[in-house]
Amino acid sequence: MASKKIHINGIVQGVGFRPFIYSTAMKFDIKGWVRNSSAGVDIHATGDENNITDFIETIKSSPPPLAKIDTLIETTVVTDEFTDFKILPSKYIPEAFVPISPDVSICSECKNELFNPEDRRFRYPFINCTNCGPRLTIIKDTPYDRPQTTMAPFIMCDQCKVEYENPLDRRFHAQPIACPNCGPYVWLERENHKILRGDDAIQNARQLLSDGKIIAIKGLGGFHLACDATNPKAIHNLRERKKRSDKPFAVMVFDVKTASKYCTLSKSEKSLLNCKESPIVILKKKNDQVLPEAIAPGRKTIGVMLPYTPLHLLLLEKEKSFPDILVMTSGNMSEEPIVTTNESAIEELGSIADGFLLHDRAIFTRVDDSVLLENNGEKYFFRRSRGYAPNAIPLPMETKEILAVGGELKNTFCLTKNKYAFISHHIGDLKNLETYQAFSKGIQHFQNILKTKPEYIACDSHPEYLSTKFANSYSEKERIPLIKIQHHHAHMASCLVDNMWNGDGLVIGVCLDGTGYGEDGQIWGGEFLIGNYQEYERLFHLEYMPLPGGDKAISNPNRIAAAYLWKLGLEWDERIPAIHSISQEEKKIIVRQLEAKINTPNTSSMGRLFDAVASLIGLRHMITYEAQAAIELEQICNTGIDDAYDFCLEGDLIILKKIFTDIIDDLDHSVPVSTISSKFHNGVANMVLEAVTALRTLNGHHSVALSGGVWQNQYLLNKTQRLLEQAGFTIFLHKNVPTNDGGISLGQSMIANEILSK
Ligand SMILES: [Zn+2]
Ligand SMILES: [Zn+2]
Ligand SMILES: [Zn+2]
């Protein structure tokens, strides 16, 4: 006989860990106990020595699907007399923390019960178990127990209670456990009247969707607006009422098979669609697809997700007369944050939706759908949110407790502790008041649930970012030091952390981006850096071009094109589509701004160069959502073309004149715009290769990190990747966080930590 104490850390609570320990103890005839503490899970195991070894091996090798063991420490202790194995009440240690699980899409066992007429939860839209269901969206505080969630008002019925208390039940301590007798319910509301509840409500909503109506649906982390994705009129109505002219809508289909009817799917794309995080996966539309162009205008791709809650499954259920694909777009007005309460849905979405499918389980934290795509078999994030946040991201080294507040657009914040970074769900554009409030509340909430109190705060060096202003006052109020970090250094560091780079030596950072505040007060975004977590040097950048009207110019690529031509000394020829699209009056204003340098900052942004080219060739002169022109330029690329325009490197500058004269020349010779776009993309990829090769010759560095919003461009990314690989470079691409500004909070925290450790 032997005894061991075992302490386990990681995601081990709210994931069926104790029942698993309990049944494993039974299997190996182990006596003793298991207990949750606010620092993890503690086990006292007594039994045959070999059995204890097998017991521990089983814990390590086959934990429950949602569990993630970070550390398991075993110590031999004096053998105690136990007659059985018990689950003891939780022990609460105030300052200790255990990571909490993200929201998880419905598991296969719950799915089976949902559609099993014999089951007592047959067609119950809130079915869940320890392996699936809501988490982050409903947690108000830790330890993760029902009274600390938005399930608190629902009193468990006797049957649920038995399951909840039985260590061998799949629902043992499943905090959101519910059934039709005791849990939340759905209802349909039209013109301020509850008209139907339960399954009748869902069926009626389906009928309305079939009839071309728009329905607001309360989901897991917020509302969706849904309509029949095969009905152009319904989509048109949705666009018009939502005031969203071109930005693509995501769709939801019942299963992978339906997805493959509309999109081409690789094996790894199939598994991404099906994974427990259930993100929106960006897929290639089939050429013969029958979907209306209006779902994703100008795109070869479409964002697809599968139903991730029981309610979604019931809504999408297959039936001949029902559309097998629904638009499921965020429930908001244009750029507002997603609505989360029934009251605000009716108020804010009242002018959009023809009906409301509501329920009475409150959403505590607004969490948007995650968006990603597959790149060479790996996940590549555009937005990391539902299903992933607040999972810990492992860090290459121990860190101080730091709060990094991220950027201004696509904001996320990040808290570090021990060897982990906890990056928030997608917060959004801080310039929106409600989003800003969610940002400051979210920071407080994360500090609470993660039991952390930052010793330092890090922010972007842009003086006008609201996150910077927040950091200034937070630093003052809490009397903790503030570290300001250059935007592209943060991008580069974020990519390095994402690859667990250990910080030894120096790396080349190719930061191709839209906008970032530069050390010289200009707008950076086409940057070649050499550096590490502590410092960087800027070795090449795109030559500065004027941006008449500053940020306002961003929505008018034709103005950008005109300003670039002016600066490069090229004629404003009316045959150039960009020039032709600007009125004489407007031209005069632009010239005045350029000559007097009124509100005309300089920029080295690669994003703006893409905008300028898109307009120059007549593709897009004005945009209705961020990066629209650049995205449309990518969409018309033709992979069969290898020709490229030439950039020139002169000193530390990347010179643009030749690119522009060559494009204009091609326009003169009626070269198709798809060819011009391909030659431009190829030219950028060649230029990156040329620049990093020059840096390698100069400094001998072989590793290249690619970060910044422009690397969302898959054509450019793949082309560049191939060239750099062939030339023998080691390439770091983003893995767990987006390459756009959603990832910079991670980089900020790491840089701050290293600066402080110097
Ligand atoms: Zn389940
Ligand atoms: Zn019940
Ligand atoms: Zn950026």
Domains and CATH numbers, the chain: 2-87 (3.30.70.100), 186-359 (3.90.870.40), 390-499+740-757 (3.30.420.360), 540-701 (3.30.420.40)
Please give the distance, rounded to the nearest whole angstrom, from the Cα atom of residue 120 to the centre of ligand 2: 9
Position 380: which residue type? Y
CA–centroid distance, 134 to ligand 1, in Å, is 10
Instruction: Give the number of whichever ligand sits closest to the CA of residue 518.
Output: 3
* pLDDT at res. 133: 96
Provide the 10 A C-beta neighbour count for residue 185: 16
Total Cβ atoms within 10 A of residue 506 = 17
d(CA 240, ligand 3 centre) in Å:
31
Compute, in angstroms, the gap from residue 276 CA to the centroid of ligand 2. 25
Residue 290's CB is within 10 A of a number of other CB atoms, namely 9
Dihedral over alpha carbons 597, 599, 602, 606 (to 10 degrees): -140
361 CB-near residues (< 8 Å, 6+ apart): 126, 134, 138, 150, 151, 154, 176, 183, 184
CA of residue 489 to ligand 3 center, whole Å: 10
Q: How would you classify the pairing of strands 392-394 and 420-423?
A: antiparallel
| Interval between CA 364 and ligand 2 midpoint (Å) | 22
Q: Residue 646 C-alpha to ligand 2 middle, in angstroms?
A: 68
Q: Which ligand is nearest to the CA of 489?
A: 3
Token pair of 657 as six digits: 């004149």
**DSSP character for 599?**
T
Beta-carbon contacts of residue 108 (< 8 Å; ≥ 6 apart):
none
For residue 632, report the distance from its CA to the centre of ligand 3, in Å: 20
Whole-number Å distance, alpha carbon 11 to ligand 1 midpoint, is: 17
Ligand nearest to the CA of 132: 1
In this structure, which ligand is nearest to the CA of 121? Answer: 2
pLDDT (0 to 100) of residue 94: 67
> Which residues contact residue 513 at a Cβ distance below 8 angstroms, ignoring those fewer than 6 apart?
487, 488, 491, 524, 525, 526, 527, 605, 606, 607, 707, 708, 709, 710
Pick the ligand that lies closest to the CA of residue 486.
3
Tell me how far apart the alpha carbons of residues 726 and 224 are, in angstroms, rounded to a whole number: 45
Alpha-carbon span 400 to 415, nearest angstrom? 10
Residue with tokens 């190829």: 682
Q: Which two tokens stand for residue 643?
A: 């020709």
Cis amide linkage into residue 454, ω under 30° from 0: no
The three-state secondary structure class of 636 is coil
Q: Is 411 helix (H, G, I), strand (E, B) or coil?
A: strand
Rounded Cα–Cα distance for residues 495 and 515 (Å): 17
Q: Which residues in 543-617 belong to E strands, given as ranges? A: 545-546, 602-603
Look at residues 394, 478, 397, 462 and name the one whose alpha carbon lies nearest to residue 430.
Answer: 462
Tell me, in angstroms, the distance from the centre of ligand 1 to residue 128's CA: 5
In the structure encoding, which two tokens stand for residue 441, read together? Answer: 């509340």
The pTM is what?
0.94
Residue 472, burial from CB neighbour count under 10 angstroms (0-12, 13-18, 19+)? middle
Is-cis flag, bond preceding 390, omega within 30? Answer: yes
Counting ligands in written order, the one closest to the CA of 745 is: 3
**60 Cα to the center of ligand 1, angstroms:** 22
336-373 as b/e: b if 16+ CB within 10 A? bbbbbbbeebbebbeebbbbbbbbebbbbbbbbbbbbb
Task: Give the type of residue at 310.
Answer: P
> How far does residue 109's CA lie from ligand 1's centre (Å)?
6
Cβ 638 vs Cβ 651: under 8 Å:
no
Question: CA 540 to CA 606: how far, in whole Å?
Answer: 12
Of 42, 44, 59, the closest CA to residue 8 belongs to 42
| DSSP secondary structure code for residue 554 in this structure | G
Ligand nearest to the backbone CA of 178? 2
Ligand nearest to the CA of 711: 3
**Ligand number, closest to the Cα atom of 179:** 2
> Could you tell me the two tokens for 129?
């178990």
Query: How much distance in Å is there from the Cα of 464 to the middle of ligand 1?
Result: 46
Q: Which ligand is nearest to the CA of 177?
A: 2
Look at residue 567 and give its three-state secondary structure.
helix
Closest-CA residue to 405 (of 736, 749, 702): 749
Pairing mode, if any, of strands 402-404 and 456-460?
parallel
The closest ligand to the CA of 527 turns out to be 3
| Cα 99 to averaged position of ligand 1 atoms, centre (Å) | 20
C-alpha 145 to ligand 2 mean position (Å): 17
Q: What is the largest CA-CA distance in the chain?
A: 93
Contact 331, 350 (CB under 8 A): no
The sign one gets for the Cα dihedral 511, 514, 518, 522 is: positive
Among candidate residues 213, 185, 209, the one with its CA nearest the CA of residue 199: 185
Q: Give CA torsion, residues 244, 248, 252, 257, to 10 deg.
A: 160
Rounded to the nearest angstrom, the distance between the alpha carbon of 577 and the centre of ligand 3 is: 29
C-alpha 178 to ligand 2 mean position (Å): 5
Three-state SS string over 34-83 comes to EEEECCEEEEEEEECHHHHHHHHHHHHHCCCCCCEEEEEEEEEECCCCCC
Distance (Å) from CA 339 to ligand 2 centroid: 28
* Alpha helices (H) in 454-509, listed in sequence order: 466-478, 487-498
Query: For the chain, how many residues are written?
Result: 758
If you measure from the C-alpha of residue 121 to the centroid of ligand 2, how many angstroms do you get, rounded to a whole number? 9
Distance 150 CA to ligand 2 centre (A): 16
Ligand 1 midpoint to CA 133 (Å): 7
Nearest ligand by distance to the CA of 151: 2
197 Cα to the center of ligand 2, angstroms: 18
Q: Residue 182 CA: which ligand is closest?
A: 2
User: How many angstroms separate the alpha carbon of residue 179 from the centre of ligand 2?
Assistant: 4
pLDDT at 757: 87
Q: Are 369 and 250 in contact (CB under 8 A)?
A: yes
Q: Which of 123, 101, 98 is nearest to 110 (CA)?
A: 123
The low-confidence residues of the chain, meaning pLDDT below 70, are 38, 94-98, 289
Q: Quick one: which ligand is closest to 133's CA? A: 1
Tokens of 609: 């160069």
Distance 202 CA to ligand 1 centre (A): 21
Determine the distance separating the centroid of ligand 1 and the alpha carbon of 145, expressed in angstroms.
18
Separation of CA 105 and ligand 1 centre (Å)? 8
C-alpha 123 to ligand 1 mean position (Å): 14
- Å from CA of 733 to ligand 3 middle: 15
User: How much distance in Å is there from the Cα of 443 to the middle of ligand 1?
Assistant: 30
Residue among 349, 102, 560, 153 nearest 542 (CA) = 560
Assess contact for 742 and 748: CB atoms under 8 A: no
Which ligand minimizes its atom distance to the CA of 171? 1
Distance in Å, CA 300 to ligand 3 centroid: 25
578 C-alpha to ligand 1 centroid (Å) = 55
Angle at 418 between CA 410 and CA 499, to 5 degrees: 55
Instruction: Give the C-alpha separation, 39 to 12, whole Å.
Output: 10
- Give me the pLDDT at residue 385, please: 98
CA distance 423 to 446: 9
Q: Which ligand has the minimum distance to the alpha carbon of residue 127?
A: 1
For ligand 1, the distance from its centroid to the CA atom of residue 174, given in whole angstroms, is: 9
- As given in the structure block, the two tokens for residue 326 are 């629904």
Ligand with an atom nearest the CA of residue 524? 3
* Residues 6+ positions from 445 with CB-CB distance below 8 Å: 365
Helix axes 487-498, 744-757, angle to 10 degrees: 90
- pLDDT of 232 reads 96
- Pick from 571, 577, 675: which is nearest to 633 by CA? 675
